[in-house]
Structure formats: C-alpha cells, structure tokens
Amino acid sequence: MSKPNDRQRPIFLSFLFTLIGLAISLSAYAQTPAYPTKPIKLIAPVAAGGGLDNLARAVAEKLSRSLGQPVIVENMGGGGGAIASQATAKAAADGYTLMIAYVGTHGTNPAVRRLPYDAIKDFTPIGMIGATPNVLIINPELPIKSFKEFVDYAKKNPAKLSYGSAGPGTLTHLGMEQLKLAAGIFMVHVPYRGVGPAYTDLLAGQTQAMFPTLFAALPYLTTNRVRGLAVTGAKRSSAAPNIPTFKELGFNGFDGQQWYGVVGPANLSPAIVTKLNTELNKVLALPDFSEKMASEAMTLMPMTPPQFGNYIKEDIARWAKVAKDRNIEIE
C-alpha cells in the first residue's frame, strides 16, 4: 500500500516543473529588447521631391526621435504607387518596413485598377496622418464667379468645357467625374501625365477647369491665376476661407480628399501596431508639426488603427461607386 507522500509527489513535481517553465518564460520575455531595436524603413511611394515625399520626411524625422531609432525614408515611385505597395505587402511583418499610404494607393487605384496587391487584406493600418481637400478651380477668363454659375454655364455650353487631370483613375479624374454626375453636366476629360502639364494648359486656357488638391492650387489661387469655386470636406479650409464647401452649396457626398497615413504589411503584431500608432499620434500633436501641416492646407486626423482601416474601406467604396457609375476601368 503506497504512502500518502508517494501519491502527492507526482503532483508536487508537476507543479514545480510548471513554476520553473513559467520562470524561464518570464525571464526570456524580460530579456527581449523593446521594439524597435534597429532602423525602420518608411517607403514613400513616389520619387524624391514633392508633397508626399516632404510629408514622409517630416514624419520620419519626428518618429526617429520618439522611437529612439532612425526612420529612413526610401523613395519607390512607379505604377501610381503600386510598386511601393507591393514591396510593402511582401515585406516581413516585423515592424521594420512601413509605408506612407495615400488616396492613390489605398483609394482610387484599388477602385479602378487590377493591382498586384489587395489594399485591405495585404496591409495593417497603423494610423492616419491627415488630408488636404480638393478644390474646383477654373481659368479666370471664363465669365463665371460662383459654383452655381459654373453649373449653369456647363449646362448651357456642354461642348465648350474641358478639364485636365493628372491621369486616368487619379483623384483629379474621379473627383471631377463624381461632380459631373452629381451636377448633371458634361465636360471633356483631358488626361495628362502628372498634374504639372495639366496646370500649364489650364493657365493657358487650353482647358477650362481642374479638381486638384487645395495645397497644390494655393500658389495659383493667391496670385489670381485661377479662380476657386468650391472645396471638398466637411468645413472650409483655413488656408482658403473664402471658398465654400460643396456641402454649403447643397452638394452632399463630396468628402473625397488627398489623405495620407501609415501602413505596414499584414499581420503586424498588435503590440507593434499600438506602439507605432501611439507615437504617430504624438507626432501629430506637436505644435511645430501641426503648424507646418496647416501651412500646407492639411488637416491632421489622428485615428486608431481600426478607425483608419474603416476609413480606407470607405474611401475605396466611394471611388469604386464613381468608377462603376461612370464606367471607368483602367488596365
């Protein structure tokens, strides 16, 4: 007959081994260095120079200080951001490869193109940075002073108006197509390779209208080389307070903006996502950073990762509807 101690010994040993295993696990966890332990690559899906590149570098500089590791911007232009997006999607999900996502990579492009990546499933949303509204501008030689006059003129002269865009499927294209549909007007679309040539022809009177970002249009607006009629967004921009919103003018649903945020590859760990989101939102709250962005007509929009993820889904749905309604599909 076994003694009581003999029966209790296996239970005691099992409990002891469990405690030892837990201690080893806790020790290993305690010795794991806190993220990040090396430089982080922040991909800018454009060539060097220009607004998005400048934004990426401004964010990288601030994050480098707050994270304690260099955040290095790598420019990767081409394919309307598709090359950079695909590279980010294929990167290791370790928090050391991030990307500045924007309305092109995670809004308009997925709505009109067949892409080598899924803008939702292949990425982890980290946080929104902000957005600048789009503005309807016209050549000032037109006998038009207001948005109402623009709509009336377009209806009376359907063959006389054309608008330039930065290319098929861009925000400058889809935004104007959305306007045409809502206002019941017709204008000829003249696509260019980039926004620069589109401005050149607008200023020369070769085209009559355009729907660029407010930031890009400001130098022309302040020198009266173009006339602003309405801006997207929920409220007027402090950079151009005299230009009404479409909502004020009775046209709801014109919320499309040139937005920017930070994403990583799919399946980033929640701890890393939380860390990056927290630090990004701290950057957005810095007075010098917010002042710089305000001077560039950008409204900062701090969000949680789930909020940013929902924003991306809603933006893709917005432009997909416009593309479907206008029968726009780009190979």
Domain residue spans in the chain? 40-132+258-325, 135-231
Place of tokens 């590149």: 53
- Cα separation, 133 vs 237, in Å, equals 8
Tens of pLDDT, residues 7-24: 555 554 454 445 455 444
Q: How far is CA 34 from its chain centroid? A: 29
Please report how many Cα atoms fall inside a 13 Å half-sphere around the Cα of residue 151, on the Cβ side.
Answer: 14
Q: How far is CA 218 from CA 46, 68, 260, 295, in A?
A: 22, 36, 19, 10
- The CATH architecture one would assign to domain 40-132+258-325 is 3-Layer(aba) Sandwich (3.40)
Residue type, position 293, single letter: M
- Are 303 and 127 in contact by the 8 Å Cβ rule? The answer is yes
Q: How far is CA 43 from CA 30, 47, 111, in A?
A: 32, 11, 22
Same fold, 40-132+258-325 and 135-231: yes
Which residues make beta-bridge pairs with 230? 136
Any idea which fold 135-231 has? Answer: D-Maltodextrin-Binding Protein; domain 2 (3.40.190)
Which residues make beta-bridge pairs with 213? 134
Per-residue pLDDT of the chain (331 residues; tens, 9 = 90+): 444 455 555 554 454 445 455 444 444 444 457 999 999 999 999 999 888 999 999 999 999 999 999 999 999 998 889 999 999 999 999 999 999 999 999 999 999 999 999 999 999 999 999 999 999 999 999 999 999 999 999 999 988 999 999 999 999 999 999 999 999 999 999 999 989 999 999 999 999 999 999 999 999 999 999 999 999 998 999 999 999 999 999 998 888 899 999 999 999 999 999 999 999 999 999 999 999 999 989 999 999 999 999 999 999 999 999 999 999 988 7
Strand segments, DSSP code E, in 21-122 are 40-44, 71-75, 97-102
Helix or strand holding residue 191 (H, E): strand 188-191
Q: Which two structure tokens, joined as six digits, stand for 325?
A: 């309604």
With 0-12 / 13-18 / 19 or more C-beta atoms within 10 angstroms meaning exposed / middle / buried, residue 54 is: middle
Q: How far is CA 264 from its chain centroid? A: 13
Quick one: three-class SS letters along 239-279?
CCCCCCECCCCCCCCCCCEEEEEEEEECCCCHHHHHHHHHH
